[in-house]
């Protein structure tokens, strides 16, 4: 097959590589010329994705994968177009911002040829494939969906850093606007993906047709929103436990010892491209989902809650030297999308603290480019707030933070035995 992948980001590029590695001819489209040039040189444009560099170095010289900025070069004659363009959410209104995806869809439509399957993998509000992409594709191409081409939705279910492993591990969900579109989508993904055997599933691991685009759209939102709501519940328990001298981690361990409880861990922040964003996409079509809204608001409030607790313990943060440990939204991933570091730094500054940030994955210039002042372990500091569960912080010791008066461990990562004599605040630890 000839496959076009639109947007070569941290998901799109590994997908393009996966398709090419499965024996197909792949061309990627990206608006960033530097990304295109880097890919065409057989070099990964971002670090940290397992196996990506090795596969690029094989596939690009072999002519199985190339990149371009031109839709007119990539789309005409493609058997399949896979769309992984980012969808943003307005921070103030929580409404989806379709600008980039609209532009990409119009460009696809302008060059769309009969017989193409267009598969959207970007997470969407329920109903978007049918009510937004189908009309845009039809009006821009003059073709008719269901007759001349097919539009389907098939969400990505992978995490950066382990995309290739996750593609094998989890069923590939598809939802179409017609039975013919569904059949084409199933055949396509069966031709480009390979799956691990899993005995824990109700049906064999592989491509699962959910019967409609709406069902597939909802499945992606539901599985991610579940995690945000679960973390919100864990944070609610943690706040209550702290007020009553209870160790919430023991409580959660006890609850999860039977098979019907799956309580997640509390923490200072929920970051990344998915968990903080997709509940808001869900709310855009189900505004009455109060449980979703409450969890999202509670999770978003955790940085300021912990900073306020720190201020209460120290009396005031005015003029104190504070460090936030970790800029990345999760451990071992060099990514700051919706990272809790930003609201944590803002909350500390509002309390009058002088704030710096440390992260073993980011250089000083990279932190400054994010608007963060870098900190070096060993510098004098009054307050430390551990935001990211990097492995390096598990072995953090008081000598690394001389002068420290309070450690706020927002991930329960540090070893309490190593911090005797220094107050240590852990959410939900009593």
What is the number of other CB atoms lying within 10 angstroms of the CB of residue 307? 28
The C-alpha angle 52, 55, 61, rounded to 5 degrees, equals: 130
DSSP 188-238: HHHHH------TTSSS-SSEEE-SSHHHHHHHHHHHHHHHHHHHHHHHHHH
Which tokens sit at 85? 């363009």
Question: Of residues 10, 55, 134, 220, which has the active-site annotation?
Answer: 220
Sheet-wide strand order for 2-6: 65-68, 25-29, 2-6, 80-83, 117-120, 150-153, 172-176, 207-209
Q: Which residue has the tokens 């969808």?
A: 87
Question: Of residues 169, 255, 274, 334, which has the active-site annotation?
Answer: 274
Measured between alpha carbons, how far is 414 from 416 in angstroms, rounded to an integer?
6
CATH 3.90.1010.10 for the 267-426 domain, yes or no: no
**What integer best gives the mean pLDDT of the chain?**
97
Q: How confident is the model at residue 91 (pLDDT cuts 50, 70, 90)?
A: confident
Residues contacting 397, CB < 8 A, separation 6+: 418
Which residues face 152 on adjacent strands?
119, 176
Q: Which residue has the tokens 């700051």?
A: 336
Q: Give the CB-side neighbour count of residue 407, counting CA atoms within 13 A.
A: 27
Q: How confident is the model at residue 416 (pLDDT cuts 50, 70, 90)?
A: very high
Q: What percent of the chain is modeled with pLDDT above 70? A: 100
The C-alpha angle 230, 248, 348, rounded to 5 degrees, equals: 80
Measured between alpha carbons, how far is 356 from 382 in angstroms, rounded to an integer?
11
Which tokens sit at 53? 């560099």
Measured between alpha carbons, how far is 267 from 412 in angstroms, rounded to an integer?
8
User: pTM for this structure?
Assistant: 0.93
What are the pLDDT digits (tens) for 197-220?
A: 999 999 999 999 999 999 999 999
Measured between alpha carbons, how far is 6 from 57 in angstroms, rounded to an integer?
21
Fold observed for domain 2-211: Rossmann fold (3.40.50)
Question: How far, CA to CA in Å, does 1 sit from each of 19, 206, 352?
Answer: 9, 20, 59
Find the mean pLDDT for residues 303-332.
97
Domain ranges for the chain, please list them: 2-211, 267-426
Q: Would you state the pLDDT for residue 428?
A: 87
Dihedral through CA 305, CA 307, CA 310, CA 314, nearest 10? -130
Residues listed for the chain: 430
DSSP 104-165: HHHHHHHH--TT-EEEE-S---TTHIIIIIHHHHHHHHS--BTTTBEEEE------TT-HHH
Measured between alpha carbons, how far is 374 from 372 in angstroms, rounded to an integer?
6
Which tokens sit at 159? 């995490």
Query: Distance from first CA to last CA of the chain, Å, rounded?
Result: 58
- Helix or strand or coil: residue 38? helix
Q: Would you state the pLDDT for residue 212?
A: 98
Residues contacting 42, CB < 8 A, separation 6+: 56, 57, 59, 60, 61
Q: How confident is the model at residue 430 (pLDDT cuts 50, 70, 90)?
A: low
Find the mean pLDDT for residues 257-278.
95
Asked if the domains 2-211 and 267-426 are classified in one and the same CATH topology, the answer is: yes
What are the pLDDT digits (tens) for 348-402?
A: 999 999 999 999 999 999 999 999 999 999 999 999 999 999 999 999 999 999 9
What are the pLDDT digits (tens) for 59-81?
A: 999 999 999 999 999 999 999 99
Q: Is 274 a catalytic residue?
A: yes
Q: How confident is the model at residue 112 (pLDDT cuts 50, 70, 90)?
A: very high
> Long-range pairs for 360-367 at CB < 8 Å and ≥24 separation?
360/390, 360/392, 361/327, 361/328, 361/332, 361/333, 361/334, 361/390, 362/327, 362/328, 362/334, 367/327
């Amino acid at each position: 097959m000839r496959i076009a992948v639109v947007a070569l980001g941290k998901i799109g590029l590994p997908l393009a590589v996966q398709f090419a590695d499965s024996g197909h001819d792949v061309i990627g489209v990206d608006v960033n010329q530097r990304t295109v040039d880097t890919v065409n040189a057989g070099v990964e444009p971002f670090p940290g994705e397992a196996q990506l560099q090795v596969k690029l170095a094989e596939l690009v010289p072999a002519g199985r994968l190339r990149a371009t900025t031109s839709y007119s070069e990539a789309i005409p004659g493609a058997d399949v177009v896979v769309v992984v363009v980012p969808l943003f959410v307005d921070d103030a209104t929580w409404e989806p911002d379709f600008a980039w995806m609209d532009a990409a869809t119009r460009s696809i439509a302008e060059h769309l040829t009969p017989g193409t399957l267009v598969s959207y993998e970007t997470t969407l509000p329920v109903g978007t494939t049918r009510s937004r992409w189908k009309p845009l594709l039809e009006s821009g191409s003059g073709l008719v969906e269901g007759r001349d081409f097919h539009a389907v939705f098939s969400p990505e279910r992978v995490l950066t850093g382990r995309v290739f492993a996750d593609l094998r591990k989890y069923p590939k969900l598809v939802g179409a606007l017609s039975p013919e579109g569904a059949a084409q989508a199933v055949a396509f993904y069966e031709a480009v993906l390979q799956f691990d055997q899993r005995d824990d599933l109700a049906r064999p691991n592989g491509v699962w047709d959910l019967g409609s685009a709406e069902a597939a759209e909802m499945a992606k939102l539901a599985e991610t929103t579940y995690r945000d709501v679960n973390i919100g519940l864990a944070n609610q328990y943690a706040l209550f436990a702290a007020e009553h001298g209870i160790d919430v981690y023991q409580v959660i361990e006890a609850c999860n010892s039977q098979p019907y409880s799956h309580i997640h861990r509390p923490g200072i922040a929920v970051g990344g491209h998915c968990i903080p964003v997709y509940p808001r996409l869900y709310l855009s079509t189900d505004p009455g989902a109060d449980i979703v809204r409450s969890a999202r608001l509670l999770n978003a409030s955790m940085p300021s809650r912990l900073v306020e607790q720190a201020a209460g313990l120290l009396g005031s943060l005015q003029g104190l030297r504070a460090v936030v440990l970790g800029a990345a939204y999760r451990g071992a991933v060099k990514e700051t999308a919706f990272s809790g570091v930003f609201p944590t730094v803002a909350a500390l500054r509002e309390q009058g603290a002088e704030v710096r940030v440390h992260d073993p994955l980011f250089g000083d210039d990279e932190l400054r480019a994010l608007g963060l002042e870098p900190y070096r372990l060993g510098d004098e500091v009054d307050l430390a707030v551990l935001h990211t569960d990097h492995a390096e912080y598990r072995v953090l010791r008081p000598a690394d933070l001389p002068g420290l008066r309070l450690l706020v461990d927002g991930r329960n990562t540090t070893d309490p035995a190593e911090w005797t004599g220094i107050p240590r605040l852990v959410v939900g630890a009593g």
